[in-house]
Structure 1
Amino acid sequence: MFLPNRHALHRQPLDEADAETVGIAGADTVERFLACRNNHLTPPLHALPALAGELGLGTLHVKDEGFRLGLGSFKALGGAYAVFRLVLEEASKRLGRPVDVGDLDRPEVRSVAATMTVACATDGNHGRSVAQGAELVGAKAAIFVHAGVSDGRVAAIACYGAEMIRVDGNYDDSVRQAARVAAEKGWTVVSDTSWPGYERIPGLVMQGYTAIVREALGQISEPPTHVFVQAGVGGIAAAVAGHLAIVLGEARPVFTVVEPARAACVFGAAKAGHPIKITHGEATVMAMLECYEASPVAWRVLARVADAFMTVDEDEAIAVMRRLARPAGNDPAIVAGESGGVGLAGLIRAMADHKAELGLDATSRVLVVNTEGATDPHRYAELVGMSPADVLAGNVLSGATP
């Protein structure tokens, strides 16, 4: 499915609050917080000239979030950042003085954090980030996981000391349960999706993701002409598209949102003109994108700055995982999880079916984001036929830059 953005708000300025969330000052704050993380390294931006040539593009770059902050996903940027901000705000209130990120290890701040419990629902990656953030600041975490979350992903979250709570149903069911239980117990919900009356914290999570596009623009010689980014509830797509619109203005790239055909809630919002709950059918292999209702905050941004919405099928996502693991020419091998290469899958489909509509040609400079590495290594090996370690070892043997 493919749909140009026909919303009346398309290419209109962002709301003031949204511009503040995904704008330059917000990205500055995220950068300052990242500088205080002990394991922060800027993830690479890979050039794939062989694949670009095959597709008939000028250049193709992949921003690789597969090793971000030791969590293997772009979500490492959002949940933990929001937890840090919330702890500092509560500590400032209780201590009666401003405290900043450099104060997070002070005993009086950790004493405040120890009284706080943060909660969220997750498909896997967001929960890891929230749990890691809570552990780093000395807070407690309660993470709600639905029936489709693998045992491997549950274990990866639990290792940060979080209380794990299983929920029947899908991701949206776990979101509702997390909100209900947190309200009863006085916990703070740190969700990456929003709902009426609950927008600021998901905005902080989105703000964390602006680091991706800020870094990418600093790593590339010319700004991209086209960007393809995948969406679950829409947070990363909104953060990237919104920041590009603010920084580049009228020179911003053509931005396409890509989703699984089986869980296309942002596409559904684009078709209806507002967020709707789409029907839950057969599960998608793109597990981190299996969401059935777009975040209103993310949609508010995407309605203005996304140019097109499209879906890809199960086999296309798996094919991209395998292609990135076994590249042509001197392209580096990239470990992309089931949801990681979906933006690239969208680009490949677009080059076959929608080149004219998107203005894609031999001069196009395209940016995509590998949003996750092998966050479930066993599942990755099943789908790709190689372990993540063997894929990366191929770079060493070939001399490609990993």
Structure 2
Amino acid sequence: MTATDDLSFVPDFVRAQEFFQGQEAYAVSPLIEITGPDGQSILAKNETQRMGLGAFKALGAPYAVARLLDDAWYEKTGETLTRMKDADFREFASGHTFVCASAGNHGMGVAAGARAMGAKARIHLAQTVPQGFGDRLRTFGAEVVRSGDVYDESVAAAIADAKTPGATLLADGTWPGYTEIPKLVMEGYCVIAEEMRQQFEASGQWPTHVYLQAGVGGLAAAMSHMIRLNWAEQPELIIVEPGAASCLRASHLAGRVTRSDGPDSNMGRLDCKAPSIVAWDVLERCGVSYETLSEEEGQAAAEAVTALGIATTPSGAAGYGALCKRTNQQARTQELRPLVIISEGLA
């Protein structure tokens, strides 16, 4: 980290809520109860249908795109952006290209957010990313570039690409010298925690344990921040990572940001070897614990949740997998009321 890196995270979550409440495609995602393998009742926040993208990422990059274009429009005109569909704004937006690397849903969010605002998107994919994902990105109007053999190489290519005129790097991770734009992505994720806070305040049935899957850590950190900020009853927070990519846990144990290199994981959306430095800092002050999943445990969790009627992936079901793992290791208590995030669908 550099002396100038600002690791603080003070999201304007009300602004994020107001932005999405103004979108036609927005709806509060379902908070339901599902059954664990031993008959245990589990709260599940189902993100698999979120705003047509089928993942929580629909709340991150699209919000960041809108905020960045709002700032740029104000700088040009002195006008706060309220006319997103007007021809003069869309002509202005068409001169902006949002660039990122992606191994999963973040690229889809960038592409969808750019298209919604009239801007362009260019997404760098490593050779390991399936062709079908590239094809889906193109349906959102994104330019797809194959860059490097592994994710880290596609990130480096996106960073270099963002130096071209009119391009802006919109990553979901943070690293020394790059922290502010990803905070906007995290700010969008805060909407999930606020939706649930309102639901729990209405029901009075607060969770005792919340399982949050993590790649670079943006979702987990945003959720943890909001839970510690304003939930009336405080749960235990468990951060769930693949054993092959437990960079946040490794950083916690080392007391500093560190990588956790390993083989490729079938929890591909969580297969991040280096953490977001902002997310790690947030998690360190939120009093979280960590759990890792083997490849077999991740796959079993996806199959179990899909069998319950929510089609998802090992990444999407990782929180459920960690809950099952802990339940098997610990005695059940009547007071246990766990919550998991089903973070993405199969598409």
If the length of structure 1 is used for normalisation, what is the TM-score? 0.81
Distance 1:46 1:204, change over 3 A: same
Shift of 1:349: 0.9
Counterparts of 1:29 and 1:208, CA distance in 2 = 9
1:74 corresponds to 2:22: no
1:189 corresponds to 2:169: yes
2:286 pairs, out of 302, 305, 317, with: 305
Bigger proportion of residues as helix: 1
Whether contact under 8 Å (1:30, 1:208) holds in the other structure is yes
1:44 pairs, out of 30, 35, 41, with: 30
**Partner amino acid for 2:303?**
R
- 2:320 is paired with a residue of what secondary structure? helix
**Counterpart for residue 94 of structure 1:** 76
| 1:259-270 equivalences in 2 (<5 Å) | 259-270=241-252
**Counterpart for residue 350 of structure 1:** 326
Whether contact under 8 Å (2:172, 2:182) holds in the other structure is yes
Distance 1:226 1:52, change over 3 A: farther
Shift of 1:52: 7.7
1:242 pairs, out of 225, 235, 244, with: 225
Q: Which runs of 5+ in 1 are unaligned?
A: 1-14, 328-332, 376-402
Shift of 1:53: 5.5
**Counterpart for residue 17 of structure 2:** 31
What do the CA deviations read for 1:275-333 (whole angstroms, capped 9, x no partner)? 21222x32111111111100001001001114201100111111112212223xxxxx2
Shift of 1:209: 0.5
| 1:47-126 equivalences in 2 (<5 Å) | 47-48=33-34, 50-51=35-36, 54-55=39-40, 59-99=41-81, 102-126=82-106
**Counterpart for residue 190 of structure 2:** 210
2:273 pairs, out of 292, 296, 302, with: 292
Whether contact under 8 Å (1:88, 1:109) holds in the other structure is no
| 1:325-364 equivalences in 2 (<5 Å) | 325-327=306-308, 333-353=309-329, 355=330, 361-364=333-336
Whether contact under 8 Å (2:7, 2:281) holds in the other structure is no
- 2:163 is paired with a residue of what secondary structure? helix
**Partner amino acid for 1:322?**
E
| 1:316-327 equivalences in 2 (<5 Å) | 316-327=297-308
More deviation, 102-111/192-201: 102-111
Whether contact under 8 Å (1:84, 1:137) holds in the other structure is yes
| 1:128-167 equivalences in 2 (<5 Å) | 128-167=108-147
Whether contact under 8 Å (1:124, 1:157) holds in the other structure is no
Whether contact under 8 Å (2:216, 2:276) holds in the other structure is yes
Counterparts of 2:333 and 2:197, CA distance in 1 = 21
- 1:54 is paired with a residue of what secondary structure? coil
- 1:309 is paired with a residue of what secondary structure? strand
1:256 corresponds to 2:233: no
Shift of 1:186: 4.5
- 1:61 is paired with a residue of what secondary structure? strand
Whether contact under 8 Å (2:124, 2:154) holds in the other structure is yes
More deviation, 262-271/318-327: 318-327
If the length of structure 2 is used for normalisation, what is the TM-score? 0.93
Shift of 1:27: 1.8
1:272 corresponds to 2:254: yes
- 1:183 is paired with a residue of what secondary structure? coil
- 1:228 is paired with a residue of what secondary structure? strand
Counterparts of 2:210 and 2:109, CA distance in 1 = 25
**Partner amino acid for 2:337?**
R
- 1:204 is paired with a residue of what secondary structure? helix
Whether contact under 8 Å (2:95, 2:166) holds in the other structure is no
- 1:292 is paired with a residue of what secondary structure? coil
The CA RMSD over aligned residues, in Å, is: 1.8
- 2:162 is paired with a residue of what secondary structure? helix
Q: Which runs of 5+ in 2 are unaligned?
A: 1-5
The percent identity for this pair of structures is: 34
Q: How many residues align?
A: 339
